[in-house]
Amino acid sequence: MEIHKALFEYCLRLADSSLILGQRLGEWCGHGPILEEDIALTNISLDFVGHATALLQYAAKVEGKGRTEDDLAYHRSEREFKNVLLVEQPNGDYAKTIARQFLFDTFQYYYYQALQESKDETLAALAQKSFKEITYHLRHSSQWVLRLGDGTAESHERIQNAINDLWMFTGDLFDMDEVDALLIKEGIAADPGQVKQKWNDHVAELFKKATLQMPAPTYMQRGSREGKHTEHLGYLLAEMQYLPRTFPDAKW
Amino acid sequence: MVKDEKKLLAEFQAKIDKGVKIEPKDWMPEHYRKQLIRMMSQHAHSEIVGMLPEGNWITRAPSLRRKAILLAKVQDEAGHGMYLYSAAETLGIDRTEMLEQLHTGKAKYSSIFNYPTLTWADIGAIGWLVDGAAIMNQTALAKGSYGPYSRAMVRICKEESFHNRQGYEIMCSLAFGTPEQKAMAQDALNRWWWPAIMMLGPSDDNSPNSAELMSWKVKMESNDSIRQRFIDRTVPQGDHIGLTFPDPLLKFNKETGHYEHGPINWEEFFNVVKGNGPCNKARLKARVDADKDGKWVREAAEAYAMKHTEKETLAA
pLDDT tens digits, A113-158: 999 999 999 999 999 999 999 999 999 999 999 999 999 999 999 9
Q: Does B64 contact A23 at a Cβ distance shorter than 8 Å?
A: no
Q: Is residue A189 part of a domain?
A: yes
Q: Is residue A214 part of a domain?
A: yes
pLDDT tens digits, A17-30: 999 999 999 999 99
Residue in chain B lying closest to A92 (CA): B293
Q: Is residue A92 part of a domain?
A: yes
Interface test with A, best of B51, B57, B58, B171 (most A CBs within 10 A): B58
User: CA-to-CA distance for A94 and B36, rounded, in angstroms?
Assistant: 35
User: Which CATH number characterizes residue A66's domain?
Assistant: 1.20.1260.10
Which sign does the torsion angle of CA B279, B284, B288, B294 carry?
positive
Q: Is A248 on the interface with B (CB under 8 A)?
A: no
Q: Is residue A235 part of a domain?
A: yes
Q: Is residue A163 part of a domain?
A: yes
Q: Is residue A222 part of a domain?
A: yes
The mean pLDDT of chain B is 94
Q: Does A46 contact B65 at a Cβ distance shorter than 8 Å?
A: no
Predicted pLDDT of residue B315: 67
Residue A96 has pLDDT above 80, yes or no: yes
Q: Does B66 contact A252 at a Cβ distance shorter than 8 Å?
A: yes
Q: Is B81 on the interface with A (CB under 8 A)?
A: yes
Q: Is residue A251 part of a domain?
A: no
Q: Does B68 contact A93 at a Cβ distance shorter than 8 Å?
A: no
Residue B206 has pLDDT above 80, yes or no: no
CB A156 within 8 Å of CB A148? yes
pLDDT tens digits, A191-209: 999 999 999 999 999 999 9
Q: Which of B80-89, B168-177, B201-210 has the lowest mean pLDDT?
A: B201-210
Residue B306 has pLDDT above 60, yes or no: yes
Q: Does A46 contact B71 at a Cβ distance shorter than 8 Å?
A: yes
Q: Which of A212-216, B1-5, B186-190 has the lowest mean pLDDT?
A: B1-5
CB B121 within 8 Å of CB B185? yes
pLDDT tens digits, B111-120: 999 999 999 9
**Average pLDDT estimate for B70-87:** 96
Reduced to 3 states (helix: H, G, I; strand: E, B; else coil), residue A83 is: coil
Q: Does A30 contact B180 at a Cβ distance shorter than 8 Å?
A: no
Predicted pLDDT of residue A57: 98
Q: Is residue A252 part of a domain?
A: no
Q: Does A39 contact B120 at a Cβ distance shorter than 8 Å?
A: no
Predicted pLDDT of residue B197: 97
Predicted pLDDT of residue B214: 87
Predicted pLDDT of residue A1: 80
Residue B2 has pLDDT above 70, yes or no: no
Q: Per DSSP, which regions of A95-216 are E strands? A: none
Closest residue to B286, CB basis, from A31, A46, A249? A31
Q: How confident is the model at residue B1 (pLDDT cuts 50, 70, 90)?
A: low
Predicted pLDDT of residue B96: 95
Q: How confident is the model at residue B310 (pLDDT cuts 50, 70, 90)?
A: confident
Within 8 A of B78 by CB-CB distance, chain A residues are 35, 38-39, 42
**Average pLDDT estimate for B36-49:** 96
A/B interface, count of CB pairs below 8 Å: 137
User: Structural domain of residue A102, as residue ranges?
Assistant: 3-246
How many domains does one find in chain A? 1
Closest residue to A43, CB basis, from B64, B75, B295? B75
Q: Is A92 on the interface with B (CB under 8 A)?
A: no
Interface test with A, best of B64, B85, B103 (most A CBs within 10 A): B64
Predicted pLDDT of residue B208: 63
Task: Tell me: ipTM over 0.90.
Answer: yes
CB B6 within 8 Å of CB B208? no
pLDDT tens digits, B242-266: 999 999 999 999 999 999 999 999 9
Q: Does B286 contact A30 at a Cβ distance shorter than 8 Å?
A: yes
Predicted pLDDT of residue A100: 98
CB A73 within 8 Å of CB A243? no
Q: How confident is the model at residue B311 (pLDDT cuts 50, 70, 90)?
A: confident
Residue B145 has pLDDT above 80, yes or no: yes
Q: Is B279 on the interface with A (CB under 8 A)?
A: no
DSSP A217: P
Question: Looking at chain A from residue 45 to 84, which residues have their Cβ under 8 Å from any Cβ of chain B?
Answer: 45-46, 49-50, 52-53, 56, 69-70, 73-74
